[in-house]
Structure 1
Amino acid sequence: MALSDASLTALRVFREVAERGTLTAAATALGYTQSAVSRQIAALERAAGAALLERRHDGVRLTPAGRIVLRRAAAVVDQVDAGARELAGLPGEPGTVRLGWFASAGAHVVPRALAALRAEHPAITVNTREGLTPVLVRALRAGTLDLALISSAPPFRPPDTETPALEVETLTERGLRVAVPAGHPLARGDYVDVADLHGQRWIAGPGRWAGGGAGDSTGMGAWPGLDERPEIAHSARDWLAKLCLVAAGCGLTTVPAMLEAAVPPGVRVLPVRGGPQEQRRLLLARRPGPMPEAAACVARALRQAVLATGATLTSP
C-alpha cells in the first residue's frame, strides 16, 4: 500500500490523535470507540509503511514518520474542508482564522482584540477556543489552529521539541501578582512582602498546589515562590470563580498581570516583593511559513490589545 491509499477518515483521526495526545481523548472528541480509532491508525500506518505513533504510558508521541504524515494530513484535510465551505457558500479559508488561547488571555486580551477586529476587518471570521498551552501547541502542529496565545515560565524553553520549530513571538513579559480580598490586612499597602504570604489560605486550580507552572497559568493558586506547602482552602478551574472566592474573603490566589483589568469588585491585585522574580511571558505561536493576510490582521489586533493593557512588548 501507499500513503495515497489512505482514507480521509484515517487522516482526520490521525490529526485528532496528534492533537489530543491519547487515543482515548481522540475517540471521545470524534464520537468513536477507541478500537475504531486504533483501526484507523493501523490502516494509516500500513498505508505509510511505517509506525506513526510511539505508544507511551502517558499517551502517544509522533515518530519522525508521523510528523511528516501529520504535515501532509493537515494540508489535505484543510483543503477538503475549504472546498466544502466554498460549495456551501460559506466564507473561504483566507477570511477565516482559528485562534486558540489559554484562560487568562481570554479574560481580557482576546475580547479586546476581537472587538477591534470586527470594527476594522468585518469580513474576517475568527473561530476561537480555550485550552491548556500544551494542547494548543499540539493543535497548531495538527493544523486545527492557525494562531495560539500561549504562556511560558522561566527558563522560557521553546513550546515543544518538534521540527521545524514553531514561529513564536513574545507579546509581553510581566511579573505575577497576588489577588487579595479588599478587606484583607494585606490589601492596605501597594505591594505584598513575600514573607507575609506564609500561613495564608489559598484558592488554586484543580490538582495544583502552586501557581504558574511552566507553560500554562490555569493551575495558578498559591504563590510559586513560597518555601512551605500552602493550605489550599478552595479549588476552582474557572478564573471568575477563583476571583469571586477571593472577593468573598475565602482566600488569596496568584494571577497573571494581564488579568488585573478584569477582576471583580472587592479584589485588590498587588505585586509581591522579596524572593525570586516570578515572570511569565505571553506568546503568539503559529506554524512556520508565510502568514495569510487574515491571520496577520488577527495577530496585529492581538498585539494592539496587549499594548492597551499597559504592557510593554519585548523581544522573543
Structure 2
Amino acid sequence: MIDVQRLRVLRAVAEHGSFNQAAAVLRLTPSAVSQQVAALERGLGAQVVARSTRGVTLTPAGHIMVGAAESVAAELEHARQQVAELSTGRTQLTVATFTSGGRLLLPSALARLMAAHPRTVLHVREGEPEDTLPLVRQGAVDLALAYHFDGPLPVGPRPGTSLEWTPLLEDPLHVVLPQGHRLVGHDSLDLAELAAEPWVLGCLKTEAYLRRYAEQAGFDPDIRGTTTDYFFARSLVAAGMGISLIPSIALTPEIPGLSTVSLKSPVPIRHIGVAAINGRDRPHVTTLIHALREQATQHNGH
C-alpha cells in the first residue's frame, strides 16, 4: 500500500525542486524528506526523482505519482467538505479568478449561484492561472476562472488527474494609442507598423506574448514599462508614455484620451475558461459553470 504522507512529501519536492526547500515547507529535515522519497521508491520498485547538484527533477514515474498525490489530496479535501456540510447544512465553495476575467464574468454568475443555492458560503481568491490551476487539482479551490494564450493551459493536467477545462470566450488583444497618435483612425494595424513605438504593458505574460509576435514581425519591442494592472497601463498610455496591448475585456472603464485599434491576423488572443475537477456530483459547481457560460454568451453577443 502506498503511504499518503510519502505522496505528500513527493508533491512538495516536485513543487519546490529540492529536498531542502520541501523540508522547510513541510517542517521536516532534508534527511527525513530524502528517506520518505527513498521509501516510496522502494515500495514502487521505480525511481520517482532524478537527483543532481542542481536539485531534483521528476522521472516519468514521478510525474505519475505526483498526479496521484494531487488526486488523493483533492479527494480528501472533498470528503472533508462533505462532512462539514453534513454538520452545518451549508456548502463551502471557493472560487479562484484572475482580475479582468473575474471583474467581467464573476459577479453576475455568483449572484445567480446564490439565488439558486442561498445557503452557499462563498470564498473568492485572486490569482494567475499558473497559481490557481494547481489549487483546483489539489482540492484547495473548487473551480478557477483562468486563461491561456495560444498553446496549452499554463499548468496542464498530469497523468492521474481529471482537470476539466470549459471554454468560455475568446479575448483578442487590441492596440491602445494615445490621443493624437499618427495611427489613430486606422481600422486595423499590422504589428510591424508598430516596430518603432515604445510600449507600456499591463501584464508580464503579455510582454512575453508581444515579444514572440514581434519577433515574427521582425522587430524587438521597446518596452518602457510593465505593470500588473491593465487600467494602470492604459493610464500611462493616456499620459503619453507609449502604446499598449490590452485584452478586449480590460478596455473598460473608458479612459479619456485613448483610442483602440484592432490588430490584423495573426491576432493575439487570450482563451478564457473555467477549470474544475471532472466527474464530481457537485450541483453548486455545475450551477456556477453554467452561470459563467451564460454570462460569457451575453458578453459575446454585445
| SS at 2:300 equivalent | coil
Cα distance in structure 1, aligned partners of 2:12 and 2:212 = 31
Cα distance in structure 2, aligned partners of 1:209 and 1:277 = 13
Is the 8 Å Cα contact of residues 113 and 288 (structure 2) preserved in structure 1? yes
For residue 232 of structure 2, what is the aligned residue in structure 1? 241
Cα distance in structure 2, aligned partners of 1:26 and 1:269 = 47
Cα distance in structure 1, aligned partners of 2:183 and 2:215 = 18
| SS at 1:187 equivalent | coil
Distance 1:71 1:127, change over 3 A: same
- Structure 2: where are the runs of 5+ without partners? none
Is the 8 Å Cα contact of residues 210 and 223 (structure 1) preserved in structure 2? no
Is the 8 Å Cα contact of residues 174 and 260 (structure 2) preserved in structure 1? yes
Cα distance in structure 2, aligned partners of 1:262 and 1:221 = 28
How far the C-alpha of 1:228 sits from its partner, in A, is: 0.8
| SS at 1:228 equivalent | coil
Cα distance in structure 1, aligned partners of 2:137 and 2:252 = 32
| SS at 1:169 equivalent | strand
| SS at 2:280 equivalent | coil
How far the C-alpha of 1:254 sits from its partner, in A, is: 1.3
How far the C-alpha of 1:11 sits from its partner, in A, is: 6.7
Cα distance in structure 2, aligned partners of 1:46 and 1:105 = 44
User: Taking every aligned residue pair, what percent have the same amino acid on both sides?
Assistant: 24
For residue 207 of structure 2, what is the aligned residue in structure 1? 210
Q: Does residue 29 of structure 2 align to residue 66 of structure 1?
A: no
Q: Give the structure-1-normalised TM-score.
A: 0.72
Is the 8 Å Cα contact of residues 179 and 268 (structure 1) preserved in structure 2? yes
Aligned residues: 293
Cα distance in structure 2, aligned partners of 1:206 and 1:174 = 15
Cα distance in structure 1, aligned partners of 2:182 and 2:142 = 46
Q: Does residue 46 of structure 2 align to residue 46 of structure 1?
A: no
Greater mean alpha carbon deviation, residues 60-69 or residues 291-300:
60-69
- Structure 1: where are the runs of 5+ without partners? 214-219
For residue 308 of structure 1, what is the aligned residue in structure 2? 298
How far the C-alpha of 1:136 sits from its partner, in A, is: 2.7
How far the C-alpha of 1:308 sits from its partner, in A, is: 2.6
Q: 1:280 aligns with which of 270, 273, 292?
A: 270
Q: 1:146 aligns with which of 130, 142, 146?
A: 142
When Rg is computed on C-alpha atoms for both structures, the one with the higher figure is 2
Matches within 5 A, 1:1-316: 2-3=1-2, 6=4, 20=15, 22=17, 36=29, 39=32, 42-43=35-36, 46=39, 49-50=43-44, 61=58, 62-80=62-80, 82-83=82-83, 85=84, 92=90, 95-156=91-152, 160=156, 162-164=158-160, 166-204=163-201, 210-212=207-209, 226-273=217-264, 275-310=265-300
Q: Give the structure-2-normalised TM-score.
A: 0.75
| SS at 1:108 equivalent | helix
Distance 1:143 1:188, change over 3 A: same
Is the 8 Å Cα contact of residues 53 and 66 (structure 1) preserved in structure 2? no
Cα distance in structure 1, aligned partners of 2:132 and 2:224 = 30
How far the C-alpha of 1:182 sits from its partner, in A, is: 3.9
How far the C-alpha of 1:200 sits from its partner, in A, is: 0.9
How far the C-alpha of 1:305 sits from its partner, in A, is: 2.0
**Cα deviation 1:276-304 (Å, max 9, x = unaligned):** 23233212222221341000111012112
Cα distance in structure 2, aligned partners of 1:153 and 1:38 = 41
For residue 216 of structure 1, what is the aligned residue in structure 2? none
| SS at 2:228 equivalent | coil
How far the C-alpha of 1:234 sits from its partner, in A, is: 0.9
How far the C-alpha of 1:151 sits from its partner, in A, is: 1.9
**Cα deviation 1:193-218 (Å, max 9, x = unaligned):** 434312111113576683548xxxxx
Q: Match of 1:246, as an amino acid?
A: V
Is the 8 Å Cα contact of residues 203 and 251 (structure 1) preserved in structure 2? yes
**Cα deviation 1:234-286 (Å, max 9, x = unaligned):** 1212333222222322222212222233454443333112x523233212222
Greater mean alpha carbon deviation, residues 295-304 or residues 49-58:
49-58
Distance 1:206 1:113, change over 3 A: closer
Cα distance in structure 2, aligned partners of 1:21 and 1:184 = 47
| SS at 2:219 equivalent | coil
Root-mean-square deviation (Å): 3.9
Cα distance in structure 2, aligned partners of 1:208 and 1:310 = 24
Is the 8 Å Cα contact of residues 176 and 259 (structure 2) preserved in structure 1? yes
Distance 1:172 1:97, change over 3 A: same
Cα distance in structure 1, aligned partners of 2:135 and 2:21 = 13
How far the C-alpha of 1:184 sits from its partner, in A, is: 3.2
Q: Match of 1:179, as an amino acid?
A: V
